[in-house]
C-alpha cells in the first residue's frame, strides 16, 4: 500500500484526504492519504522522515510551502514561484535521486480551473487581486499561459514586488482596480476577503461585466459575494473549489502517472465542502 499525505500546521479538517481517496477507490489503487502536523520549525526533518519511511507523495500547506523548497529538488515553476505544495518521492524510491522532487500545483490549479470552464488565457488581460501565496501562484500561472497580468494588492509594494518577478506583469494598489477590471478578460481574487465575512468583496460590483471570467480562490463559503455579483453581471463565475480540485488532480497525476478521475474527485470534494 502506498502512503500519500499532507503536511501543514495546523492541517485541521483538510479536504484533501476524501478527494484523493475517492481517486484511489475509483481507479482501484491500493493507497491511503493521511495528514501530518510536524513542528513548525522542522519541515526539512519532516521531508527526510517521510523519505526514510517510504512515503510516496506529500502535499504541503501553510506554513511550510516556502521552507520545503530547500529540502527538495524543485521544478522550475515551483522555483520561480518560491513555494512547493507537492512533493514526489518516486525519484528517491527508484534510486534515481537523493532528494524528492518538488512542484507547485496551485499554479496548475489556476490554469486548469480556467481551461475546464473553456476560458482562454492566451492574450487575455488578467487582474490578480492579492499578492500572498495564492496571488503569486495565480500571477505566474496566468503569465505562463500567455495572459498580460496586473497584480493589485492592499499593500501596493507587495504587488509591485511580485510583478517584478512575473514576466511582463505590472503591480500596484487598489485605487485603480475598478478601471482595470472594466478592461480585463480575467479576474482572480487571491485575497482572503469574503472568507471571514461572507458579505465582503474585494472588487466593486459595478465594474464586473459579461466578458469577464472570475476565479475566486476563496472556497469557504463556496459561493462568495464576488461570485454572486459576477454571475449577476453575466461573467463566468468559477469558485475556489475548482482551483483546489485541479491542484489535487495535478498532484495525483504527478504521483501516479495516471489520468485523474476528475469527476469522482470533484464529487468527493464538494460533498465534503457541503
Ligand atoms: P496570504 O498569503 O496570507 O495573502 C493574503 C492576501 O489577502 C494578501 O494579498 C493580503 O493583502 C490580502 N488581504 C487580506 N485581507 C485583506 C483585506 N481586508 N482587504 C484587502 N486585501 C486583503 O494568503 P494566501 O495563502 O494567498 O490565501 C489567500 C486566499 O486564497 C485564502 O482565502 C485561501 O484560502 C485561498 N486559497 C485558495 C486556494 C485554492 O486552491 N482554492 C489555494 C490557496 C489559497 P496584504 O498583502 O495587503 O496583507
pLDDT in tens, 91-112: 999 999 999 999 999 999 999 9
> Which pLDDT does position 42 carry in this prediction?
83
Residue with cell 492592499: 154
Whether ligand 1 lies within 6 angstroms of the CB of 155 is answered as yes
Do 20 and 33 lie in one domain? The reply is yes
State pTM to two decimals: 0.96
> Rounded to an integer, what distance in angstroms lies between the CA atom of residue 44 and that of residue 25?
31
> Which pLDDT does position 99 carry in this prediction?
95
The ligand 1 atom at the shortest distance from the C-alpha of residue 131 is 9
Which letter, b or e, does each residue of 158-185 get, where b requires 16 or more Cβ atoms within 10 Å of its Cβ? bbbebbeebeebebbebeebeebbeebb
Give the E-state strand segments of 147-216 in sequence order: 148-152, 170-172, 186-189, 213-216
218 CA distance to ligand 1 middle (Å): 8
Do 230 and 262 lie in one domain? The reply is no
Whether ligand 1 lies within 6 angstroms of the CB of 154 is answered as yes
Number of domains within the chain? 2
Given a cut of 90, whether residue 89 has pLDDT beyond it is yes
Instruction: Output the residue whose Cα is nearest ligand 1's atom 4.
Output: 132
> If you ran DSSP here, which 8-state letter would residue 173 be given?
-
Beta-bridged to residue 103, according to DSSP, are 86
Residues near 23 by beta carbon (within 8 Å), at least 6 away in sequence = 29, 252, 260, 261, 264, 265
Q: Which domain holds residue 64?
A: 2-104+242-273
Report the chain's C-alpha Rg in angstroms.
18
Task: Identify the burial level of 208 via C-beta atoms within 10 angstroms of its C-beta, where 0-12 means exposed, 13-18 middle and 19 or more buried.
Answer: buried
User: Of residues 20, 38, 47, 65, which has the active-site annotation?
Assistant: 65
Given a cut of 90, whether residue 88 has pLDDT beyond it is yes
User: pLDDT band at 130, cuts 50/70/90?
Assistant: very high
Do 154 and 233 lie in one domain? The reply is yes
Q: Which of 248, 212, 241, 211 is nearest to 224 (CA)?
A: 241
Beta-bridged to residue 151, according to DSSP, are 128, 171
Instruction: Output the residue whose Cα is nearest ligand 1's atom 22.
Output: 191
Given a cut of 90, whether residue 13 has pLDDT beyond it is no
CATH code at position 10? 3.40.50.10860
CATH code at position 224? 3.40.50.720
> Rounded to an integer, what distance in angstroms lies between the CA atom of residue 144 and that of residue 121?
9
Do 132 and 227 lie in one domain? The reply is yes
Given a cut of 90, whether residue 134 has pLDDT beyond it is yes
Q: Kindly report, residue by residue over 171-220, the tens digit of the pLDDT.
A: 999 999 999 999 999 999 999 999 989 999 999 999 999 999 999 999 99
Do 135 and 76 lie in one domain? The reply is no
For 18-46, what is the mean pLDDT? 94
Whether ligand 1 lies within 6 angstroms of the CB of 74 is answered as no
Query: Do 219 and 241 meet the contact criterion of CB atoms below 8 Å apart?
Result: yes
65 is an active site residue: yes
Mutation probe of ligand 1 site: the residue of 60, 62, 104, 191 with most atoms within 8 A of C-beta: 191
Do 139 and 174 lie in one domain? The reply is yes
Instruction: Output the residue whose Cα is nearest ligand 1's atom 25.
Output: 133
Do 23 and 75 lie in one domain? The reply is yes
Do 230 and 112 lie in one domain? The reply is yes
Do 207 and 246 lie in one domain? The reply is no
> Which pLDDT does position 41 carry in this prediction?
83
Given a cut of 90, whether residue 39 has pLDDT beyond it is no
Given a cut of 90, whether residue 273 has pLDDT beyond it is yes
> Which pLDDT does position 217 carry in this prediction?
97
Do 220 and 267 lie in one domain? The reply is no
> Which pLDDT does position 150 carry in this prediction?
98
Do 191 and 253 lie in one domain? The reply is no
Identify the H or E element spanning 40.
none
Do 51 and 150 lie in one domain? The reply is no
Given a cut of 90, whether residue 40 has pLDDT beyond it is no
145 CA distance to ligand 1 middle (Å): 22
Query: Do 9 and 65 meet the contact criterion of CB atoms below 8 Å apart?
Result: no
Residue with cell 500596484: 172
Given a cut of 90, whether residue 12 has pLDDT beyond it is no
The ligand 1 atom at the shortest distance from the C-alpha of residue 192 is 32
Amino acid at each position: 500500500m502506498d502512503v500519500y499525505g499532507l503536511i501543514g500546521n495546523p492541517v485541521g479538517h483538510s479536504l484533501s484526504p476524501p478527494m484523493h481517496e475517492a481517486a484511489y477507490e475509483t481507479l482501484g489503487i491500493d493507497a491511503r492519504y493521511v495528514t501530518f502536523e510536524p513542528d513548525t520549525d522542522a519541515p526539512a526533518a519532516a521531508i527526510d522522515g517521510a523519505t526514510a519511511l517510504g512515503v510516496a507523495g506529500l502535499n504541503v500547506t501553510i506554513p511550510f510551502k516556502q521552507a520545503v523548497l530547500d529540502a527538495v529538488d524543485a521544478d522550475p515553476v515551483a522555483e520561480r514561484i518560491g513555494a512547493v505544495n507537492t512533493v514526489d518521492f518516486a525519484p528517491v524510491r527508484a534510486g534515481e535521486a537523493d532528494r524528492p522532487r518538488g512542484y507547485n500545483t496551485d499554479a496548475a490549479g489556476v490554469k486548469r480551473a480556467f481551461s475546464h470552464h473553456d476560458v482562454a488565457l492566451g492574450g487575455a488581460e488578467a487582474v490578480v487581486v492579492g499578492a500572498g501565496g495564492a496571488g503569486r501562484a495565480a500571477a505566474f500561472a496566468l503569465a505562463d499561459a500567455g495572459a498580460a497580468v496586473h497584480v493589485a494588492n492592499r499593500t501596493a509594494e507587495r504587488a509591485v514586488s511580485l510583478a517584478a518577478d512575473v514576466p511582463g506583469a505590472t503591480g500596484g494598489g487598489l485605487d485603480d482596480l475598478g478601471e482595470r477590471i472594466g478592461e480585463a478578460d480575467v479576474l482572480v481574487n487571491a485575497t482572503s476577503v469574503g472568507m471571514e465575512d461572507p458579505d465582503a468583496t474585494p472588487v466593486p460590483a459595478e465594474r464586473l461585466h459579461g466578458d469577464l471570467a472570475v476565479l475566486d480562490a476563496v472556497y469557504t463559503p463556496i459561493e462568495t459575494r464576488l461570485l454572486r455579483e459576477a454571475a449577476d453581471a453575466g461573467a463566468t463565475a468559477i469558485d475556489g473549489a475548482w482551483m483546489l480540485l485541479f491542484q489535487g488532480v495535478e498532484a495525483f497525476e504527478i504521483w501516479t502517472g495516471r489520468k485523474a478521475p476528475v469527476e469522482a474527485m470533484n464529487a468527493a470534494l464538494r460533498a465534503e465542502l457541503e
